[in-house]
Homo-oligomer: A and B are copies of this chain.
């Protein structure tokens, strides 16, 4: 059991690209309810099964288990078509790790940055390539993007669709 406290932002420019190491991620959503989402992820050659609760005040419960990658691959079929592909860059700045997700496939064009905190009130110094905060915008949840890819948004190339 864990608690995830996270802020999320749109990303501007390219300066972040050379600042960290990257790993390919593929993740699908088995199912979602009002209260929880269930995610299967393949990160490089490792599989994970993750249950997340609802977000409230930047915070949500998270339960993550490493699983055999063959299981994750088989379960990905049960997620179709709700699968998200992206490359994740981990960028250490001061005492924080920024995770920049460059989406691919049907979400190509979207780049998001997340930073995990120890409390919702923690001060965060924003790098120059950080744009609009979208922590509270459910359209940027990966589970939403899986069902409603960025390329299908009414103004998909704009940071303010709809």
A interface list, Cβ under 8 A from B: 1, 30-33, 35-38, 49, 51, 53, 61, 63, 65, 67-68, 70-71, 74-75, 78-80
Contact = CB atoms under 8 A, between A and B. Distances in A.
Instruction: List the number of copies, as a whole number.
Output: 2
Given A30-B35, A53-B78, 12 more contacts: A30-B31, A30-B36, A30-B51, A31-B31, A31-B37, A31-B38, A33-B78, A35-B78, A36-B78, A49-B51, A63-B67, A63-B74
Q: Is the interface of A mostly helix, strand, loop or mixed?
A: strand
Given A30-B51, A31-B38, A74-B1, A65 B65 contact: yes
Contact of A36 (B1, B31, B35, B53): B31
